[in-house]
Amino acid sequence: MSMGSLAFDEFGRPFLILKDQDKKSRLHGIEAHKSHIMAAKTVASTLRTSLGPKGLDKMMVSSDGEVTISNDGATILSMMDVDHQIAKLMVQLSKSQDDEIGDGTTGVVVMAGALLEQAEQLLDRGIHPIRIADGYEMAAQVAIGHLDKICDQFPLDQSHRERLIETAMTTLGSKIVNRCHRQFAEIAVDAVLSVADLERKDVDFELIKMEGKVGGKLEDTMLVKGVVIDKDMSHPQMPKRIKDAKIAILTCPFEPPKPKTKHKLDVTSVDDYKKLRVYETEKFDEMVKQVKDTGANLVICQWGFDDEANHLLLQRQLPAVRWVGGPEIELIAIATGGRIVPRFQELTTDKLGKAGIVRELTFGTTKDRMLVIEECHNSRAVTIFIRAGNRMIIEEAKRSLHDALCVVRNLVKDHRIVYGGGAAEIAMSLAVSQEAEKISTLEQYAMRAFADALDSVPLALAENSGQAPIQTVAEIKSRQVTEKNPRLGIDCMNKGSNDMREQHVIETLSSKRAQIMLAVQLTKMILKIDDIRSSSENVSL
């Protein structure tokens, strides 16, 4: 009976109620809080060394042996194998920052880890978690209010490109592409300004495509005002360069019509076979003629066609590209101003796309070829063509450029900026500490803890740059107070100046606000959990 208790149903039949408490584990009270905080600190400490321009990269090896090298917080966490429930929340926090802002994914996790670390000390003093959460909320409001006071803004137009480039360069400074990050920053700014609607403050990322090809140097990366597709002409003897291209964009295949029913066609004699062959040739000729009659001099087809059709297209001097994917077809249609045609009968001159030049790119000694469609009718569609020595660097360059594109998009939507290098965090820390002096209730301890947690970002930047962290941050803090200059931050690049405006280290206000709000929301949620019941194997990190 030690396994359970005996009970009887309404008909008097006995049954056993089994105990499974030995298979469950329970943590409650301060133990639960300590477990949560330990998990969050472990995740934050993993990313802490990746923060800033001198931050280190992480290498992740998947179960099938695929290697990823990245400095991006969201990428690192998404590839980590995490079991602890609170650690999974930290992964989701990083993803939320990535989805909402696109940058600051490492900083938000470091911030949340620091807030929970400070909360642990307050819990040890006997302060109730709800009072800590309330204090953090009050401090967050003070910090965001101070951010609004110290931010700068600039008019957004083509003549102020330099501020946009400087902001993109700050984002790219910690990435693998930083040896040519001026070039990458200019590419990101030009790409966003090409597709941006500045009146509506809207950027359509669907019009920006990133394509990579192994080989060449990172410096060979370029912005194409048009579309690059990983295809070549269907026949090697077709022209490799077409000027003033009029493009027929088809989603119907170059092949004879098939019966729509399930009936089969029996060929019983040689004459029948010859008639069928003549019929097929006539149909091919008719299809080619319908395309040629519209004035098209290039066909881009979503489907393939056999060698006979390919040969006929070459004979009729109609260059063609086959097996072009759906998203690429749509982008070509947007860029060239053409219409996607599902039937040959519907093809007309006004549905053709127009491009100044279509050319085939070749790469080194390989047989790889790509098509570039340039000088398009609609110049808003652009492609970033990335070159690098291997696939890993190309993938990391794509992630880096995505962050830079997101930052420039955020500036288009809200062109207020703050200065990086930990300057904004130190300024907020001073403001929160000052405000905490005016609070008479227990929340003042939580507000001071929040101010100390804000220092974790400049401390990590100084530590990763090889400087004495506590001494460096203390000096910057005292200078900010005496000089009343909120732009002073950590000189990570050892340029001899701590003024981040002079160093052109710029971050978007929206990114900093989101980091504070998301980190505080997660910390409050974790502090309110005081009881965990789970299977015993699910309690470890």
Whichever domain contains 425, its CATH number is: 1.10.560.10
Assess contact for 20 and 10: CB atoms under 8 A: no
The predicted structure's pLDDT at residue 535: 65
Q: Which domain holds residue 282?
A: 226-378
Which range, of 129-143, 186-200, 264-278, 405-419, averages the lowest pLDDT?
A: 264-278
Beta strands in 322-462 (DSSP E): 340-341, 353-362, 369-376, 382-388, 416-419
List, in order, residues 6 or more apart from 141 with CB less than 8 Å away.
Answer: none
With respect to residue 50, please indicate whether it lies within any of the assigned structural domains.
yes
**CA-to-CA distance for 526 and 515, rounded, in angstroms?**
17
Cα of 44 vs its chain's centroid, Å: 20
- Reduced to 3 states, what is the DSSP secondary structure of residue 479? helix
Query: Of all helices (H) and strands (E), which one includes residue 25?
Result: strand 24-28
The stretch 510-519 carries a mean pLDDT of 91
**CA-to-CA distance for 454 and 432, rounded, in angstroms?**
10
Cα-only R_g, the chain:
31
The stretch 428-453 carries a mean pLDDT of 91
Assess contact for 182 and 165: CB atoms under 8 A: yes
Assess contact for 411 and 188: CB atoms under 8 A: no
Instruction: Tell me the average pLDDT of the chain.
Output: 85
With respect to residue 513, please indicate whether it lies within any of the assigned structural domains.
yes
Shared-domain flag, residues 366 and 450: no
Is 105 known to be catalytic?
yes
pLDDT at 533 over 80: no
* Backbone torsions φ then ψ of 269, nearest 5 degrees: -145, 165
What does each C-alpha distance from 307 to 67, 254, 273, 344, 410 come to in angstroms?
40, 11, 19, 20, 50
Q: What crossing angle do the helices spanning 456-464 and 469-483 adopt, rounded to 10°?
A: 120
Residue-wise pLDDT tens digits, 45-97: 988 998 888 888 888 888 888 888 888 888 888 888 888 888 888 888 888 88
The predicted structure's pLDDT at residue 390: 85
Domain boundary among 354, 378, 402: 378
List the structure tokens of 138.
């009050």
Residue-wise pLDDT tens digits, 195-248: 888 778 888 888 888 988 888 888 888 888 888 888 888 888 888 888 988 999
* Backbone torsions φ then ψ of 55, nearest 5 degrees: -65, 150
Cα of 430 vs its chain's centroid, Å: 33
Which residue is listed with tokens 């929040």? Answer: 450
* Backbone torsions φ then ψ of 223, nearest 5 degrees: -100, 120
The predicted structure's pLDDT at residue 109: 92
The predicted structure's pLDDT at residue 478: 93
Exactly one of 46, 68, 75, 105 is catalytic; which is it? 105
**CA-to-CA distance for 487 and 499, rounded, in angstroms?**
6
247: number of Cβ within 10 Å: 27
The residue ranking higher by pLDDT, 539 or 520, is 520
Shared-domain flag, residues 42 and 149: yes
The predicted structure's pLDDT at residue 428: 93
With respect to residue 258, please indicate whether it lies within any of the assigned structural domains.
yes
Residue-wise pLDDT tens digits, 383-396: 899 988 888 888 88
Shared-domain flag, residues 508 and 457: yes
With respect to residue 209, please indicate whether it lies within any of the assigned structural domains.
no
- Reduced to 3 states, what is the DSSP secondary structure of residue 37? helix
Residues of the chain by 3-state class (helix, strand, coil), percent to 5: 50, 20, 30
Exactly one of 98, 232, 403, 499 is catalytic; which is it? 403
The predicted structure's pLDDT at residue 539: 44
536 band by pLDDT with thresholds 50, 70 and 90 = low
Q: Which one-letter DSSP state was computed for residue 488?
A: B
pLDDT at 180 over 60: yes
Domain boundary among 318, 346, 378: 378
Shared-domain flag, residues 428 and 366: no
Query: Of all helices (H) and strands (E), which one includes residue 228?
Result: strand 226-229
The predicted structure's pLDDT at residue 540: 45
Assess contact for 111 and 519: CB atoms under 8 A: yes
Cα of 58 vs its chain's centroid, Å: 17
Furthest-apart CA atoms within the chain: distance in Å: 103
pLDDT at 353 over 50: yes
The predicted structure's pLDDT at residue 381: 83
Shared-domain flag, residues 437 and 497: yes
% of the chain at pLDDT higher than 70:
94
Exactly one of 72, 98, 455, 499 is catalytic; which is it? 72
The predicted structure's pLDDT at residue 429: 93
With respect to residue 192, please indicate whether it lies within any of the assigned structural domains.
no
**CA-to-CA distance for 461 and 15, rounded, in angstroms?**
64
The predicted structure's pLDDT at residue 541: 44
Shared-domain flag, residues 440 and 365: no
Buried b (16+ CB within 10 A) or exposed e, 7-17: eeeeeeeeeee
The predicted structure's pLDDT at residue 143: 93
**CA-to-CA distance for 236 and 110, rounded, in angstroms?**
55
The predicted structure's pLDDT at residue 5: 75
Mean pLDDT is highest, among 250-259, 361-370, 442-451, for 442-451
Is 190 known to be catalytic?
no
Whichever domain contains 292, its CATH number is: 3.50.7.10
Shared-domain flag, residues 363 and 275: yes
Is 281 known to be catalytic?
no
Shared-domain flag, residues 346 and 449: no
The predicted structure's pLDDT at residue 130: 92
With respect to residue 61, please indicate whether it lies within any of the assigned structural domains.
yes
Are β-strands 58-61 and 340-341 bridged in parallel, bridged antiparallel, or unpaired?
Answer: unpaired
pLDDT at 451 over 90: yes
pLDDT at 19 over 70: no
Exactly one of 46, 68, 75, 106 is catalytic; which is it? 106
State the pTM of this model.
0.81
What does each C-alpha distance from 251 to 272, 285, 291, 329, 343 come to in angstroms?
31, 18, 13, 9, 8
pLDDT at 417 over 70: yes
The stretch 99-128 carries a mean pLDDT of 90
With respect to residue 432, please indicate whether it lies within any of the assigned structural domains.
yes
Beta strands in 54-97 (DSSP E): 58-61, 67-70
% of the chain at pLDDT higher than 90:
20
Shared-domain flag, residues 372 and 423: no
Which range, of 23-27, 81-85, 157-161, 435-439, averages the lowest pLDDT?
A: 23-27
* Backbone torsions φ then ψ of 237, nearest 5 degrees: -95, 0
Shared-domain flag, residues 245 and 373: yes
Give DSSP secondary structure letters for 265-284. Answer: ----SHHHHHHHHHHHHHHH
Is 83 known to be catalytic?
no
Count the residues in the chain: 541
Amino acid of residue 62: S
With respect to residue 67, please indicate whether it lies within any of the assigned structural domains.
yes
361 band by pLDDT with thresholds 50, 70 and 90 = confident
The predicted structure's pLDDT at residue 473: 92
Shared-domain flag, residues 234 and 364: yes
Shared-domain flag, residues 328 and 244: yes
Overall domain count for the chain? 2
